[in-house]
Structure 1
Amino acid sequence: MSAFFHTLGITDVWQLIVATMVFLMLPGAGTFCILTSAGKGGIRGGYASVFGIMLGDALLMFLAAIGVAALLTANPMVFKAIQYVGAAYLAYLGCRLLFAKKTDGASAEIGFAGASNFTRGFMATLINPKPIVFYMAFFPLFMDPATQRGGLTFLTMGAIISSCAFIYGSLLVLLGNTAAKRLGHNRRIAAFASKAAGIFLIGFGIKLSTN
């Protein structure tokens, strides 16, 4: 399987999947949006929110891919430097998660009252443009400039990330309102998840920078 994806320019598909799942599991606006929609609108409402978030992510990944493709075309050496910058960026994010102070949980509240679950999920993704920067740092870490196939490579990586998002979103929909209440009242779970993800990102960034 890894050999097949490497022919498409993806260096390690399993690391890509694991890293994506770790990022998705971080408590954030998207997670609480899905849980809230599922709690209030059932399975249909939950999945509407999931698809809204996936569409927003797809748009952000497309914008990021345009930037990465431009760097790759302009200068392969610059692209290689971006890979190291991306590894350092992951380690930086990990440090922020690991040493973050406790919050009051305000991020659990999702706005856009009266909007449909799909629109709420879509807008909750787009109001935070930071994922564009994240994807620009993330994509090069799993790309081989020698075997990459341009748009096909980005499309494949996007499909993998979207599939992970759908699987994780489905789990949240099934957990629904019960999980939303537990996560909302037990900040220790969210804090532990953030710190564990922080340690993973730091180690992952170091590993990638030494490959």
Structure 2
Amino acid sequence: MSFAFLLTTFLVCLAPGIGVVYTLSMTLGGGWRAGGLAVIGCTLATVVHLAAAMAGLAAVLHSSALLFQAIKWAGVAYLLWMAWGTLRGKGTLDVKAERPGAALRIVRRGITLNILNPKIPIFFVAFLPQFITPGEGATVQLVQLGLAFVGMTFAVFALYAALAGTMRARVLASERAMAWLRRAFAASFAALGLKLAMERA
């Protein structure tokens, strides 16, 4: 596995996106455990996308404009719903006591947010083959690179959660900071939704 692949993967995972925003907001709102659950959800979504790409779904999405648009607009609607919930204090940035089933809900939201982005499996199909040597072992290489990408996703998102966790005490001590953070995360989810809305297959 080349250094170029690992470096590129690290930079791709480091770039702020839906998963990063969700992980940060969950950690600041619910603490280390909530952040860890968000990381698990986002990573599981990456596994699903990787499997879909390997199964050829990316090619289908690329050739079927209708399917691509359906998934895309479902993602846009979900992101805007998350933005509205966060702004009202009923979404991700919520510091209330954890209710029964909250852990599963955090993981499920992380999976849903990332799965409803049809560009990810297409990205895998475009990105991974660049680092594969053609031949009989190509499939094994693809699996290895995919698993490395999943591992990097988990590590980088865990790093984001750790950084947010160290800032949490200071943030929670200030109602003003919490209000601005709520607006910032709501705006981030809305902006990501609008960005997704402008994506083309």
Q: Distance in 2 between matches of 1:141 and 1:112?
A: 37
Please name the residue that 1:177 is paired with: 169
Gaps spanning 5+ residues in structure 1: where? Answer: 35-45, 114-122
Q: Distance in 1 between matches of 2:86 and 2:38?
A: 27
Please name the residue that 1:43 is paired with: none
Q: Distance in 2 between matches of 1:95 and 1:55?
A: 22
Please name the residue that 1:18 is paired with: 16
Scaled by the length of structure 1, the TM-score of the pair is: 0.58
Residues 94, 201 of structure 1: 8 Å contact kept? yes
Please name the residue that 1:142 is paired with: 123
Q: Aligned ranges for residues 199-210 of structure 1 at < 5 Å?
A: 199-206=191-198, 208-209=199-200
Please name the residue that 1:119 is paired with: none
Q: Distance in 2 between matches of 1:51 and 1:98?
A: 21
Q: Deviations over 1:92-149 (max 9, x none)?
A: 3443355568425583224269xxxxxxxxx754334243333333432532258446
Q: Aligned ranges for residues 19-98 of structure 1 at < 5 Å?
A: 19=17, 20-25=19-24, 27-28=25-26, 30-34=27-31, 46=32, 51=36, 54-55=39-40, 57-59=42-44, 61-62=46-47, 64-65=48-49, 68-69=52-53, 72-73=54-55, 77-80=59-62, 81=64, 85-97=70-82
1:171 Cα deviation (Å)? 1.7
1:190 Cα deviation (Å)? 0.4
Residues 183, 190 of structure 1: 8 Å contact kept? no
Are 1:127 and 2:125 matched, yes or no? no
1:209 Cα deviation (Å)? 1.5
1:17 maps to a residue whose letter is A
1:136 maps to a residue whose letter is I
Identity of aligned residues (%): 8
Scaled by the length of structure 2, the TM-score of the pair is: 0.60
Residues 91, 201 of structure 1: 8 Å contact kept? yes
Partner secondary structure for residue 109 of structure 1: coil
1:49 Cα deviation (Å)? 6.4
Q: Deviations over 1:188-211 (max 9, x none)?
A: 4302331233123312441x326x
1:31 Cα deviation (Å)? 3.4
Residues 90, 202 of structure 1: 8 Å contact kept? no
Gaps spanning 5+ residues in structure 2: where? Answer: 130-140
Are 1:190 and 2:182 matched, yes or no? yes
Residues 94, 197 of structure 1: 8 Å contact kept? yes
Q: Distance in 1 between matches of 2:175 and 2:51?
A: 36
Residues 49, 121 of structure 2: 8 Å contact kept? no
Paired positions, count: 178
Residues 21, 168 of structure 1: 8 Å contact kept? yes
1:153 Cα deviation (Å)? 4.2
